[in-house]
Amino acid sequence: MPLDETTLAYLQTHHAAAQKRLLMWFARHARDLPWRRDRTPYRVWVAEVMLQQTQVEKVRDYYTRFMARFPTVTALAEAPLEDVLKQWEGLGYYSRARALHRAAQVIMAEHDGELPADVEVLCSLPGIGAYTAGAIASIAFGIPAPAVDGNVRRVMARVLAWAEPDAAGLKTAVRAWLPADAPGAFTEALMELGATLCRPKSPQCLLCPWRDFCRARAVGQPEAFPVPRLRKPIPHYDVVAAFTVREDGRVLVARRRQDDMLGGLWEFPGGKCEDGESLPDALRREMQEEMDVEVAVGEELIVVEHAYTHFRITLHAFACRLAEGSPPPQCIDCDDFRWATPEEIAALPMSVADRKIASVLQT
C-alpha cells in the first residue's frame, strides 16, 4: 500500500524530533564495529556487501581478514578470483564475492580506481543494488540517499503501523526523516535500531528512541507490523559426492562453473539424486555426466546436512576409485579439475559442505 496524505503529514510533523532522538541514541549506543574505523568508501562498500543477508557477528572476523588481504580497490582488482573466494570461504552467498571482484576491476578501468560518489553509477556496478548504493552514498559520501534493508523495513512499518509496506513508499518515508547534514549517521542508526532493539520478536520498545512516534506501539501490537510474508516450504535433496583417490594418494576435485551456484568454488564432484535412484547409482551417473569417468563406489565416508536459502541438502560422500578401463577425467560439466594433495585441497576455496568432506583427509 502506498503512503496516504495523513501518513505523509505525520512524517513531516515529527521529522525534526525523530532525527534528533535517533542520532542521540546512536551516538551513545552504536556498536564498535571494524568497518566503522578508518572509514573509506572502499571499506564501507566491502562491509555493506558482506552484511547482505549475513549477521554482523559473523561478518566481523571475515571483514578484518579480507581487508588485511585486500586493503585497497587496486589489491582486490588485481587479485586472482580464487584468492578472493578463499577469503570468503564459509561466509556464504559467494556471488557477492564474484561481483565484488568484478566491480573492483570496473572501478579500476572506468573510474580511476575511485568508488563513484553517485547513486545511479553505483547501481551500475556488479553486485550493487538500490539498498547497497543508498548505504554507500549516505555513509561514505554524505549523500542523502535512502537505504532500505529488512531492518529498516521493519522499523518504518512499525512506526507507521504499516501492514504491507512497498519499496517506493518505504523510500519516501525514510527520505522524509533523512537529515541532509547527517545522512550517513542516520542511515547507520536506523539499521542499528532494527538490528538491536526493533527486532522481529520481542522488540525492546521501552528502550527505543522512537517509542513516542511508534503507531504500532501505540496500539499495543508492535509485532503485528509488518505482516509476515508467506514462506514456501523448503525442499530437501539428497546429494552425492565422490571422494576419488588415485594410487599416489591425490584426490579428484573439480571447480564449479562461474555462473553456477557456488561458482568458482572447488568441490568433490557429484550431484543430486533423481527419484528412485540409489545413492551409488546416482554417483556413478553424475561422475559420467560431469567428468566422463566410470567410478567404483565404495563405503560412505561422511554425511553432511546443510541448509541454503531456498533448499536443504543431505550430502553423502563415498570413497571412490576410477574403474578399470575408465577414461581419464575431463570437464564435461565443470570449469576445471585436478588431482590434489591434502595440502593443496586445504588451500582451495570450497563450500562449507565440501570442506567438511575434506576433513576426511585429516583423519
Report the candidate in 17, 30, 25 with the shortest Cα–Cα distance to residue 56: 30
Whole-angstrom Cα Rg for the chain: 24
- Cβ proximity of 121 and 132 under 8 Å: no
- Rounded to whole angstroms, the Cα distance separating 93 from 219 reads 39
Residue located via cell numbers 588415485? 246
Q: String of b and e for 296-310 (b: at least 16 CB within 10 Å)?
A: ebeeebbebeeeeee
Residue identified by cell 552504536 is 30
Helix, strand or coil, per DSSP, at residue 227 = coil
C-alpha distances (whole Å) from 5 to each of 19, 116, 137, 210 are 21, 36, 29, 21
CA distances from 301 to 203, 250, 312, 356, 363 (A): 45, 17, 20, 11, 11
Q: Is 48 a catalytic residue?
A: yes
User: Per the residue annotation, which of 5, 48, 324, 344 is the catalytic one?
Assistant: 48
Which residues are tagged catalytic?
Answer: 48
